[in-house]
Amino acid sequence: MRVRILGAGIVGLSVADELIRRGHEVELVDPSPGAGASYAAAGMLSPAGEAWYGEEDLTRLCLSSLALWPDFAARLGVPVHTRGTLLVGVDAGDVQQVERQLAVLDLAGVSYERLVRRELLAREPGLGRVAGGAFLAEDHSVDPRAVVAALIDRLPTLVEPGERQQAGVETNTVASSEAGDRVGLDTDSFVPHESGSTSEVTVIATGAQLPDPYSSLIRPVRGDVVRVRTQEPVERTVRAWVHGEQVYVVPRTDSDEVVIGATSEERDGPLLPTVEGVWRLLDSARRVVPALDRASVVEVTSRHRPGTADNLPLIGPTHEPGVVLAAGAFRNGILLAPLIARLVADHIETGSVEPAVDPRRFRTKEDG
């Protein structure tokens, strides 16, 4: 098949990689590959940490995708940080929030180890005044920027618009800019049915900004993320409740970088980190990991997560023949990327659809 993929974030790139592996011809279109939500993401592969009431289908999909990650990462030559995740609460109310999370995991049949303060400190001596928590042994992390770079490396050289590749993929970068410069996306670059295109299928993987008529299916949920460098990193991801605020601290295995995230806001306004957002993140993070007081702030980034009305992704056919969505991965785009790639490729080859994520469960503006 000849497949045109709109969007070269981790989802579009993973779909391209999977389709090329299966022998299809791919054209990838993006003004700035890897510069959207993939650029901000902390890279938690965290089905348990993200599980919540009423989201059983999402947890099931996240667990399925987690199982694909070891092979996916090995193929890309990217390490997975497998030291697990600590879920912690700072005060008694925060520990109650942790207990709510653990009750969700009980319902989902996901195992964990409940830990008292002394046990938490034995696992992670860098923790501050935590009151209790749990260990999620299977919640891992990767560096999304390394994954995106590895995926791009596997594609033939990126080319400017109009140029064409001989190989199995044509990568059409509509504009080139430093990844970090891009805070918005001109969806006019992404036209599902471009005249002159010889593609048999178009896959839309443009994150929080889908072209019409699909734009209304996505609700952008902005997140501010802070990157710091420290000589005193934590050993594993720490997800914390801090006097009612949520924060996560994700160390990288191969560098001194630690990612602190993320705010979650549904509002309009410029896509720039806010003083309040950054202050809340740093204030919470330094209470949980006091050594962060000595870390150097190296980057503050803000991007939109691609949320949907039911928090489940949109993967599969639309009402337009030949137009497939690979969208709406919301808080789990990194984790879900290999599963989305597999589902999209399976759909293109066999017509199969996973009912829970079928985009046709929603009406678009054009459907009326």
Residues at the site binding ligand GLY, with contacts judged by CB under 6 A: 44, 50, 223, 261-262, 305, 331
In the complex with ligand GLY, the residue whose CB is nearer, 237 or 364, is 237
> Nearest 5 degrees, angle CA 322-CA 325-CA 331?
175
Closest approach of Cβ 335 to ligand GLY, in Å? 8
Residue nearest to ligand GLY (CB): 331
Residue 68 DSSP SS3: helix
Q: Which residue has the tokens 């993140």?
A: 281
Closest approach of Cβ 108 to ligand GLY, in Å? 17
Quick one: how many helices (H) and strands (E) in the chain?
9, 16
Contact between 215 and 201 (Cβ < 8 Å): no
In the complex with ligand GLY, the residue whose CB is nearer, 86 or 169, is 86
Contact between 30 and 55 (Cβ < 8 Å): no
In the complex with ligand GLY, the residue whose CB is nearer, 44 or 108, is 44
In the complex with ligand GLY, the residue whose CB is nearer, 102 or 262, is 262
In the complex with ligand GLY, the residue whose CB is nearer, 58 or 262, is 262
Closest approach of Cβ 352 to ligand GLY, in Å? 27
In the complex with ligand GLY, the residue whose CB is nearer, 207 or 223, is 223
Residue of 38, 8, 13 whose CA lies nearest to 334: 38
Q: Work out whether the CA dihedral 20, 345, 148, 271 comes out positive or negative.
A: positive
- Residue 284 vs residues 129, 231, 260, 288, 300: alpha-carbon distances, Å: 12, 20, 10, 7, 16
Bridge partners of 6, per DSSP, are 29, 204
Closest approach of Cβ 75 to ligand GLY, in Å? 23
In the complex with ligand GLY, the residue whose CB is nearer, 3 or 259, is 259
Query: What is the C-alpha to C-alpha distance for residues 94 and 60, in angstroms, rounded to an integer?
Result: 26
Query: What is the C-alpha to C-alpha distance for residues 306 and 227, in angstroms, rounded to an integer?
Result: 21
Closest approach of Cβ 15 to ligand GLY, in Å? 20
Closest approach of Cβ 154 to ligand GLY, in Å? 25
Angle between helices 333-350 and 144-154 in degrees, nearest 10: 30
Residue of 155, 172, 158 whose CA lies nearest to 17: 155
Closest approach of Cβ 263 to ligand GLY, in Å? 8
